[in-house]
Amino acid sequence: MGARAGPGDTALPDRDIGTTGASIVHPLAAAPHGVRGFAVRLVSQAMAGAPAHPAKPRPVVDPVLDPLMNGILERLAISEAVARNKFASGKPVQDTPREQALLDSVGERAAQFGLTPAQARTFFRLQIEAGKLVQTALLARWMRDGSAPGEPVDLVTRLRPALDKLGTSLMHDLGRLCALPDDPSRLARIHQARERIARTAKLEALQRAAFDEATSGLCLSAPPRVWTLSMASR
């Protein structure tokens, strides 16, 4: 079965039902591109229901960092679907009102998860920048090629609700990490988990750059000065 929403969450349908009543596997599950491995399986299951042959779950090495890192990968995979939608619609990557609304929301909710508003806003600012890095690079590639792979998924009714639901999970996981003592052992643990999960997911260069940016400010109150492609035009 696909992911089910709890009270107050927006449910994502397991299937799209056409006029004939036949089940149609969501295009994101049928033709994933870019982010490899675990993240693609996570998003495919969330958007289209469980696959015919479910992948064997990966063993959890770090019970605090693995859920957070895999959630970040899942968000990057959804960013690719957002790029596909924007390629079809012609909408720009930058959506300042949406970004500001997200940052305001996580700042207001931060205390529920044991975070300061600055920690929550810094984390999600980096998720936004990493997502825009993916979108900008993919749109440039698809513009050059003249087409994008797969079919677009509706941004308002499918992708944004998925991002909003994932955001709550990410705040919970980030709160667990930030509750650990702020010492060199936590930094070492973050680095080890980042490298291990990136290797396991077999990320392409673009996704690795975005993943590094998205994980560069965990539990920080301000973004680090890490240069990425998304900063090139600043």
In whole numbers, what is the pLDDT of the chain averaged over residues? 79
Q: Is residue 11 part of a domain?
A: no
3 is a domain residue: no
Asked if residue 4 belongs to a domain, the reply is: no
Q: What is the pLDDT of residue 2?
A: 36
Q: Given pLDDT bands bounded at 50, 70 and 90, which one contains residue 222?
A: confident
> Is residue 116 assigned to a domain?
yes
Stronger pLDDT, 170 or 43, i.e. the higher one:
170
Cα separation of the two ends of the chain: 44
Looking at residue 20, what is its pLDDT? Answer: 33
Residues 34-56: b if buried by 16+ CB within 10 A, e if exposed: bbbbbbbbbbbbbbbbeeeeeee
* Cα separation, 6 vs 74, whole angstroms: 19
On the question of pLDDT at 13 being above 90, the answer is no
Question: What does the alpha-carbon distance between residue 162 and residue 101 come to, in Å, rounded to a whole number?
Answer: 16
pLDDT at residue 49 is higher than 60: no
pLDDT class for 56, splitting at 50, 70, 90?
A: low
How high is the pLDDT of residue 54?
Answer: 45
Residue 193 confidence (pLDDT): 97
Q: What is the pLDDT at residue 151? A: 92
Bridge partners (DSSP) listed for residue 16: 24
Does residue 5 belong to any structural domain of this protein? Answer: no
* Structural domain containing residue 178: 16-226
- Tens of pLDDT, residue by residue over 119-144, are 999 999 999 999 999 999 999 999 99
Total domains present in the chain: 1
Neighbours of 161 (CB within 10 A): 16
HSE, CB side, 13 Å, CA atoms: give it for residue 4.
3
Residue 86 has pLDDT above 70, yes or no: yes
Flag whether 8 is in a domain.
no
Q: Which of the four pLDDT bands, split at 50, 70 and 90, describes residue 111?
A: very high
Query: pTM of this prediction?
Result: 0.75
Q: Which of 31-35, 54-58, 122-126 has the lowest mean pLDDT?
A: 31-35
Asked, for residue 231, whether it belongs to a domain, the answer is: no
For residue 62, is it within any domain? yes
With a cut of 60, say whether residue 189 has pLDDT above it.
yes
Indicate if the pLDDT at residue 36 is higher than 50.
Answer: no
Neighbours of 177 (CB within 10 A): 22
CATH code (residue 103): 1.20.59.10
Band (pLDDT 50/70/90 cuts) for residue 48 is very low
Share of the chain above pLDDT 70, in %: 71
